[in-house]
Structure 1
Amino acid sequence: MIRTTHVGSLPRTQNVVDFIFARERGEEYDRAAFDAAMAAACSETVRRQVAAGIDLVSDGETSKISYATYVKDRYTGFDGDSPRNAPADLKLFPGFLERLKRDGGTPSYARPMCVGEVRSKGQGELEKDIANLKAGMAEHGAREGFMNAASPGVISLFLQNDFYPTREAYLAALADAMRDEYRTIVDAGLMLQLDCPDLALSRHMLFADLTDAEFVKIAEGHVEALNHALTGIDPARVRVHICWGNYEGPHICDIPMDTVFSTFMRVAASQLLFETSNPRHAHEWAVFRDRAAEIPDDKILVPGVVDTTTNFVEHPELVAERIGRFVQIVGAERVIAGSDCGFGTFAGFGAVDPEIAYAKLAALSAGAALAGARIGAA
């Protein structure tokens, strides 16, 4: 049996989006109604994952404005607005970038700067998310669940530093602040997923002026800060996701997986989630084959076997083929079928139609079943 999962975020209903943006804009809203909407939406999100055949489910990041900037609502020290910097590949095609802006293809949301000491406001909001997920799992029969959390590195990418004396000091402060969030998730019996696009995306978004070697040193510092925050947490309870940006674009400035492979392997997490379906990175399954000796025995590979930036629904045969490549590398017991990235990275924004997102998850599960049957028959 090949287990199935996805990266975490899923499409929100319009009711949920309206509540989230009312909070985002500082408007008055009914807090009890907000909480009730989040609980109901999370339950339905879990139900749909189970119906699609997903084994390791999430809350869909229902209550969050985005996978990284939600921290501004749960931690002190953030205000104002961070500089906006389009990815380097989109800058090379200004006509396409302008079209994205004109057609609403780039999400708009607050990205405050760090202007003071970063401290937790408490885990109350997180505990509500955890309770909603666990209630949904109990109601719909999901046995395994995970919850996303931002890594120190990705926070520093979107909420830039204007307070700490150095980037290193900022990362250290973020690591200390996020530690309780990570432990709260694990202590609740859920898998902790760390979202780390900073290990790849930030190369062409924030550090485009550096060489690859210089960027890798930056990324290694991010991993060091993250691992510090994970001190005392069993890596078997941790997943980590790396990506190059969940947007349709040329992606010709993406740093190769081969270049960041060793850095990725150093994260203190057992499950490694990465892109391997979109046209820019599908070939990089071969990196794992060619460097199989460097994959620690305790690592489980979670390749993205469906893309998250187009409305094509992958054929289960193609999904099974993609899964089979990784089974040949590390064995079936060390492969979980996943998605390239999230389907609802930002509330109210997503290239994939919500109904098609769940159709893709169903195709993922069907392909995993095919792959498992072929392994059993071999």
Structure 2
Amino acid sequence: MTSANTDHIQTTHVGSLPRTPELIEANRRYADGESTWEELTAQLPAFVSDIVARQRRIGIDIVNDGEFGHIMPSALDYGAWWNYSFSRIGGLTPSDEDRWATNEQIRSEPGKIRLTSFSDRRDRTRFRDAYEDPTSGVLAHRRSTVQPKITGPISYTGHEAVQEDVRNLTAALAQSDAPEGFVAAISPGSAARITNEYYGTDEELLFAMADVLREEYLAITDAGLTVQIDDPSIAESWDQVNPEPTVEDYLAFTQLRVDALNHALRGIPQEQVRFHLCWGSWHGPHTTDIEFKHIVDQVLTINAGAYTFEAANGRHAHEWKVWRDHPLPEGKRIMPGVVSHSTNTVEHPELVADRIEQFASVVGRENVIASTDCGLGGRLHPSIAVAKLESLTAGARLATERLFG
């Protein structure tokens, strides 16, 4: 579905867009049991139609539903991309375990990687005073994060919900002139990061999760849409291993997650899959992020036609140079972030154009689709998010003038 640029630099974004106050209130009422699923979904078509139209007015080429089908009951929410899956997977039991309150230290051994608790991440350990200071602005999602546990064989129960996502976006696309639409879905590796009390091994759990989530991917792609696989676990988990592992051990750990994802994607046309990589969307120092050069070749083995990744923030903006030494395979595209979700500063269109041209200089103008670092919804004030998208499209127009004449 994602075709090469022929006469201009195409634009897109990573997925989550700011919800309106009305949609947030509708989500809150449903989450709090004050309304039914039927009452909520009756409102979604209008909300999705509006967000698709707004994307097109801004100038976004490849649009989505804003992830409006993923419940987000408050304006600030870093977890909707993941938490939505809990209501679509059977075999889970509610838990009162707060992933941020838990301070369990799980130490890894050479050759054996184990993820520690969120509160024991290496970046958080280094800057604990800043992370725990409510006035620092470092960690915007300091709210409790309560997740269920896996207590039985998992299954996919989200058929109705994903069909709602598909119907709403398909209808909105028919009302617009958008050439392409995508729906975001969580990866097996990211979905499997909740507490597991049933499966005996990582491999067993990951491939069971792959078979479950494959049903969601097929529902999206069978409808002619593109599925975006959200998988920060590939890069982000590096920070969640104590002590820091060797790169070789970490790549072995992530390879199992890549294999499970490719198992889930088997038979799905590559051009209908885009893969999103990020280092975690929280607003923090990120000094313990793994360098992109260490994982890029592994990422490129994922059966996707396009790859989105952070490339605008201060920790990863220099990594466009990675593509000098790691050629992009034939027929694949990159969707680098040229505006960031992690700062309120709105990037100047000239800077956006410069970033696009840097990538074009190493992979070709036809293979660069301008995007955002991560989702903007739940992370930035709506007016700032809109301004960033406007700057993205303005910068893409400038780059188009220079690259296509």
Range of TM-score over shorter length:
over 0.9
Q: 1:69 aligns with which of 60, 78, 83?
A: 83
The offset of 1:33, in angstroms, is: 2.9
1:174-217 residue CA offsets vs partner (Å, 9 max, x unmatched): 00111111111011111110011011011113565533321111
In structure 1, the partner of 2:93 is: 79
The offset of 1:100, in angstroms, is: 4.5
- Name the amino acid aligned to 2:11: T
Task: Quote the Cα distance in structure 1 between the aligned partners of 2:242 and 2:339.
Answer: 28
Task: State yes or no: 1:89 paired with 2:117.
Answer: no
The offset of 1:326, in angstroms, is: 1.1
Q: 1:177 to 1:53 in 2, by over 3 A?
A: same
In structure 2, the partner of 1:39 is: 45
Q: 1:171 aligns with which of 189, 199, 206?
A: 206
In structure 1, the partner of 2:236 is: 201
Q: Are the counterparts in 1 of residues 310 and 316 from structure 2 also a CA contact under 8 Å?
A: yes
Gaps of 5+ in 2: 1-7, 72-79, 100-117
Which has more helix, going by share of residues?
1
* Secondary structure, counterpart of 2:249 in structure 1: helix
Q: 1:64 to 1:100 in 2, by over 3 A?
A: farther
Q: 1:60 to 1:174 in 2, by over 3 A?
A: same
In structure 1, the partner of 2:166 is: 130
- Name the amino acid aligned to 2:51: T
Task: Quote the Cα distance in structure 2 between the aligned partners of 1:94 and 1:7.
Answer: 29
* Secondary structure, counterpart of 2:153 in structure 1: coil
Q: 1:240 aligns with which of 266, 269, 275?
A: 275
Task: State yes or no: 1:317 paired with 2:350.
Answer: yes
Task: Quote the Cα distance in structure 1 between the aligned partners of 2:148 and 2:353.
Answer: 42
Q: Are the counterparts in 2 of residues 48 and 358 from structure 1 also a CA contact under 8 Å?
A: no
The offset of 1:56, in angstroms, is: 0.4
Task: Quote the Cα distance in structure 1 between the aligned partners of 2:286 and 2:203.
Answer: 28
Q: 1:2 aligns with which of 3, 9, 15?
A: 9
Task: State yes or no: 1:300 paired with 2:333.
Answer: yes
Task: Quote the Cα distance in structure 1 between the aligned partners of 2:54 and 2:145.
Answer: 27
Q: 1:32 to 1:80 in 2, by over 3 A?
A: closer
Task: State yes or no: 1:16 paired with 2:23.
Answer: yes
Q: Are the counterparts in 1 of residues 150 and 195 from structure 2 also a CA contact under 8 Å?
A: yes
Q: 1:88 to 1:160 in 2, by over 3 A?
A: same
The offset of 1:14, in angstroms, is: 2.6
In structure 1, the partner of 2:385 is: 357
Using structure 1 for the length normalisation, give the TM-score.
Answer: 0.92
Q: Are the counterparts in 1 of residues 310 and 373 from structure 2 also a CA contact under 8 Å?
A: yes
Task: Quote the Cα distance in structure 2 between the aligned partners of 1:163 and 1:264.
Answer: 29
- Name the amino acid aligned to 1:146: F
What are the equivalent positions in structure 2 for 1:258-273 lying under 5 Å apart? 258-273=293-308
The offset of 1:318, in angstroms, is: 0.6
* Secondary structure, counterpart of 1:194 in structure 2: strand
Task: Quote the Cα distance in structure 2 between the aligned partners of 1:116 and 1:22.
Answer: 29
* Secondary structure, counterpart of 1:188 in structure 2: coil
1:101-150 residue CA offsets vs partner (Å, 9 max, x unmatched): 99782144441111111101151111111111122222232221000000
The offset of 1:276, in angstroms, is: 0.6
Q: 1:198 to 1:360 in 2, by over 3 A?
A: same
In structure 1, the partner of 2:404 is: 376
- Name the amino acid aligned to 2:88: R
Q: Are the counterparts in 1 of residues 333 and 369 from structure 2 also a CA contact under 8 Å?
A: yes
Q: Are the counterparts in 1 of residues 12 and 61 from structure 2 also a CA contact under 8 Å?
A: yes
Q: Are the counterparts in 2 of residues 11 and 354 from structure 1 also a CA contact under 8 Å?
A: yes
Task: Quote the Cα distance in structure 2 between the aligned partners of 1:208 and 1:243.
Answer: 21
Task: State yes or no: 1:341 paired with 2:337.
Answer: no
- Name the amino acid aligned to 1:288: W
In structure 1, the partner of 2:63 is: 57
Task: Quote the Cα distance in structure 1 between the aligned partners of 2:180 and 2:131.
Answer: 40
The offset of 1:78, in angstroms, is: 1.2
In structure 2, the partner of 1:291 is: 326
Tell me the percent identity: 40
Task: Quote the Cα distance in structure 2 between the aligned partners of 1:88 and 1:139.
Answer: 47
- Name the amino acid aligned to 2:12: T
* Secondary structure, counterpart of 1:67 in structure 2: helix
Q: Are the counterparts in 1 of residues 30 and 40 from structure 2 also a CA contact under 8 Å?
A: no
* Secondary structure, counterpart of 1:114 in structure 2: strand
Task: Quote the Cα distance in structure 1 between the aligned partners of 2:37 and 2:304.
Answer: 36
Q: 1:270 to 1:221 in 2, by over 3 A?
A: same
Instruction: Output the aligned Cα RMSD.
Output: 1.8
- Name the amino acid aligned to 2:403: I
In structure 2, the partner of 1:280 is: 315
Task: State yes or no: 1:116 paired with 2:152.
Answer: yes
Gaps of 5+ in 1: none
The offset of 1:156, in angstroms, is: 1.5
Number of matched pairs: 368
Using structure 2 for the length normalisation, give the TM-score.
Answer: 0.87
Comparing 225-234 with 67-76, greater Cα deviation is found at 67-76
Q: Are the counterparts in 2 of residues 203 and 215 from structure 1 also a CA contact under 8 Å?
A: yes
Task: Quote the Cα distance in structure 2 between the aligned partners of 1:207 and 1:339.
Answer: 30
